[in-house]
């Protein structure tokens, strides 16, 4: 294992912090710590980098404990949100600094700086000063500086959050490319779910100082481990029901259910897994085993697809993504049948 975090706990005087954090990351993986502000992502990242002393637990890199080592002795390097470049030094000197301290020969330093500038697409920028660069370019220099140290684990603390949306998008793609070219192991902190879903080999979803789920992006999206993950990632509908022997009952609707627990449950359904059907004239308007009924509130065309909002009879609002073609038959005020092709069931007594 390239990085192992074992039973890491840190409690601040305020009572906030993290507890019982266990993470294993393989060589070459890009893993994201994702969660809302204050959930403990930075606390975990800083503990890995050695900028923060945890109360208990261990950090192993390439099998060796680094918990006693100061940041500069750890085989890690951190890229911060705020770039942290030296303003009085040129790009070249900013990059060469770490290697000069390590007493590398001049020619070797020049070659390494040239290579890394190519990698971050900044060849020709050697003589510029940070103030002459855009935010995105400064962050590329900061990233290049970390890459030059060839860390066993590269730590990135919301590195793109100060950049505008378009640039953030580009930087994600570039980081992914760099990771594939270098095979570096990376731990990336973000509160932006889209960033996490698009960048990561695996995502660690955090909530209130603990881990809710560690899984590949598609699994986090398709098989959320808790109601918290289900509501935090992407758009989701929630329907209250009861788990019985024959399945989940939501009014007249029955959803097959493999879980053993009985009692009140919440079914989480993605908008793309909801099907809206117009009803034939004279058709029975009641719920059936395979569908609920409701009235369309709104049909919103969103480019190549549409979002249809339906007020269900007795079960609140449900949102469905439908193709542009499918919604040609649908309009506000229309009575419709609503069925589901996929859902996840959570017991209501889940404690989070």
Ligand X SMILES: Nc1ncnc2c1ncn2[C@@H]1O[C@H](COP(=O)(O)OP(=O)(O)OP(=O)(O)O)[C@@H](O)[C@H]1O
Distance of CA 226 to the CA centre of its chain: 15
Q: Which is nearer to ligand X, 35 or 151 (CB)?
A: 35
Q: Which is nearer to ligand X, 35 or 337 (CB)?
A: 35
φ, ψ for residue 239, nearest 5 deg: -125, 130
Is residue 271 involved in binding ligand X (CB under 6 A)?
Answer: no
The footprint of ligand X on this chain (CB under 6 A) covers a number of residues equal to 13
Is residue 193 involved in binding ligand X (CB under 6 A)?
Answer: no
User: Dihedral (C-alpha) 100, 103, 106, 109: value to the nearest 10 degrees?
Assistant: -60
> Rounded to whole angstroms, how far apart are CA atoms 339 and 293?
9
How many Cβ atoms from other residues are within 10 Å of residue 62's Cβ? 14
Q: Which stretch binds ligand X (CB under 6 A): 31-39, 106-114, 142-150, 245-253?
A: 31-39
| Strand ranges across the sheet with 186-190 | 76-79, 153-157, 186-190, 30-34, 202-207, 210-215
Is residue 168 involved in binding ligand X (CB under 6 A)?
Answer: no
Written as one string, the DSSP assignment of 41-97 is HHHHHHHHHTSS--SEEEEEETTEE-TTS-GGGSSEEEE-TT----TTS-HHHHHHH
Is residue 159 involved in binding ligand X (CB under 6 A)?
Answer: no
Q: Which is nearer to ligand X, 37 or 349 (CB)?
A: 37
Distance of CA 165 to the CA centre of its chain: 16
Tell me how far, at minimum, the Cβ of 12 lies from ligand X, in Å. 3
Tell me how far, at minimum, the Cβ of 74 lies from ligand X, in Å. 19
Tell me how far, at minimum, the Cβ of 100 lies from ligand X, in Å. 33
Question: Which one of 17, 71, 135, 247 is in contact with ligand X (CB under 6 A)?
Answer: 17
Is residue 80 involved in binding ligand X (CB under 6 A)?
Answer: no
Is residue 43 involved in binding ligand X (CB under 6 A)?
Answer: yes
Query: Are the C-beta atoms of 308 and 319 separated by less than 8 Å?
Result: yes
Q: Which stretch binds ligand X (CB under 6 A): 32-40, 213-221, 252-260, 333-341?
A: 32-40
Tell me how far, at minimum, the Cβ of 225 lies from ligand X, in Å. 19
Is residue 41 involved in binding ligand X (CB under 6 A)?
Answer: yes
Q: Which is nearer to ligand X, 14 or 87 (CB)?
A: 14
Beta bridge partners of 309: 298, 319
Closest to 306 measured CA to CA, from 324, 330, 331: 324
Is residue 35 involved in binding ligand X (CB under 6 A)?
Answer: yes
**Which helix (H) or strand (E) covers residue 274, if one does?**
strand 274-278
Question: Which one of 1, 12, 240, 314 is in contact with ligand X (CB under 6 A)?
Answer: 12
Q: Which residues bind ligand X (CB under 6 A)?
A: 12, 14, 16-17, 35, 37-43, 191
């Amino acid at each position: 294992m390239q990085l192992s975090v074992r039973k890491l706990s840190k409690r601040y005087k305020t009572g906030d912090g993290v507890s019982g954090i266990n993470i294993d990351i393989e060589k070459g993986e890009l893993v994201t710590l994702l969660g809302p502000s204050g959930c403990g992502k930075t606390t975990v990242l800083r503990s890995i980098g050695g900028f923060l002393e945890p109360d208990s637990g261990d950090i192993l890199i390439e099998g060796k404990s680094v918990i006693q080592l100061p940041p500069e002795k750890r085989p890690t390097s951190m890229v911060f949100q705020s770039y942290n470049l030296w303003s009085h030094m040129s790009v070249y000197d900013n990059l060469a600094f770490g290697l000069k301290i390590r007493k590398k020969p001049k020619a070797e330093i020049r070659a390494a700086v040239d290579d890394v500038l190519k990698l971050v697409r900044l060849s020709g920028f050697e003589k510029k000063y940070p103030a002459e660069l855009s935010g995105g370019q400064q962050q590329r220099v900061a990233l290049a500086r970390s890459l030059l140290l060839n860390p066993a684990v590269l730590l990135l603390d919301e590195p793109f959050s100060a950049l505008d949306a378009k640039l953030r998008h580009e930087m994600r793609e570039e980081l992914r490319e760099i990771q594939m070219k270098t095979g570096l192991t990376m731990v990336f902190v973000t509160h932006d779910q889209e960033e996490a879903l698009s960048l990561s080999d695996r995502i660690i979803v955090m909530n209130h100082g603990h881990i809710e789920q560690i899984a590949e992006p598609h699994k986090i999206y398709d098989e959320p481990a808790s109601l918290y993950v289900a509501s935090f990632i992407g758009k989701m509908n929630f329907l209250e029901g009861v788990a019985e022997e024959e399945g989940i009952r939501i009014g007249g609707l029955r959803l097959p259910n493999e879980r053993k627990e009985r009692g009140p449950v919440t079914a989480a359904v993605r908008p793309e897994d909801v099907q809206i059907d117009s009803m034939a004239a004279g058709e029975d308007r009641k719920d059936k085993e395979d569908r609920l009924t409701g009235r369309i509130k709104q049909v919103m065309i969103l480019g190549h697809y549409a979002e249809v909002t339906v007020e269900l009879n007795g079960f609140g609002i449900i949102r469905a993504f439908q193709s542009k073609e499918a919604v040609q038959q649908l309009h506000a005020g229309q009575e419709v049948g609503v069925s589901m092709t996929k859902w996840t069931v959570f017991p209501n007594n889940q404690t989070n």
